Amino acid sequence: MKLLERVALVTGASRGIGKACALALARSGADLALNYYPGLQAEAEGVVAEIEALGRRAIAVEGDVSSAESVEKMVAETLAWQGKIDVLVNNAGITRDGLLIRMSEKDWDEVLSVNLKGVFLVTKAVAKAMVRQRRGRIVNVSSVVGLCGNAGQSNYSASKAGVIGFTKSIALELGGRDILVNAVAPGFIASEMTEKLSQEVKEAVLKTIPLGRFGQPEEVAEVVAFLAETSYLTGQVIPVDGGMHT
């Protein structure tokens, strides 16, 4: 249990990859602050119960990552709970897919605000505490489309590419304080989003994946947990995509 006595904050932790990451970190010994978007408290409390069943401590913390005021409150609540944040997983994200010529400015702004600005706001707030501690691990959840693009997802791809650039830059800034910053780039992961795809689209996507299947949230969480434990790896992006991007 390499994360014993460590405190982790996971954004967007009420379901999907965020939930899987929280559970993986708990199994590694961490106590968890689970950020959830307003309206998802019941789901977040369910994850709290699962973590407590593993013998770890957990709280659910409401917060909109695209709001600086909300983020400051969320981080302050976490610090008041345990006095430190050792691990941050920036997972919260949304999609508003559509072809460029049909995409509204609102859909563009909302995706960039949550997926990229949110990572900036939460990282900035948490980094202040980590700098004082002179230690920390930050894992940003990007996407394989941030590496290779995807038709109909220009806003999402741009936001996730931005996360990669942000990760590499902040790794350079914070490395001297033993704060390691890395990213994972999931491919097509079984989730509520992939369930909405038509069978035709699913079959087309599967043809692009050498392993021939969608990934599972737990498979992304395994890599996130590794990055939370590592001691000499920073500024890197690890695809978890079944071989899509080589």
pLDDT at 54 over 90: yes
Residue whose token pair is 């737990």:
218
pLDDT digits (tens, 9 = 90+) for 157-175: 999 999 999 999 999 999 9
**Other CB atoms within 10 Å distance of the CB of residue 35:** 32
Is 156 considered catalytic here?
A: yes
Q: How far is CA 189 from CA 199, 202, 214, 219, in A?
A: 15, 11, 5, 9
Which residues are CB-contacts of 94 (< 8 A; sequence separation ≥ 6)?
110, 111, 114, 115
Q: How confident is the model at residue 47 (pLDDT cuts 50, 70, 90)?
A: very high
List pLDDT tens digits, range 3-36: 999 999 999 999 999 999 999 999 999 999 999 9
pLDDT of 194 above 80: no
If pLDDT is split at 50, 70 and 90, which confidence band does 195 have? confident
pTM recorded for the entire structure: 0.97
Cα angle at 60 between 227 and 26, to 5 degrees? 35
- Residue 59 bridge partners (DSSP): 33
Catalytic member of 36, 37, 156, 232: 156
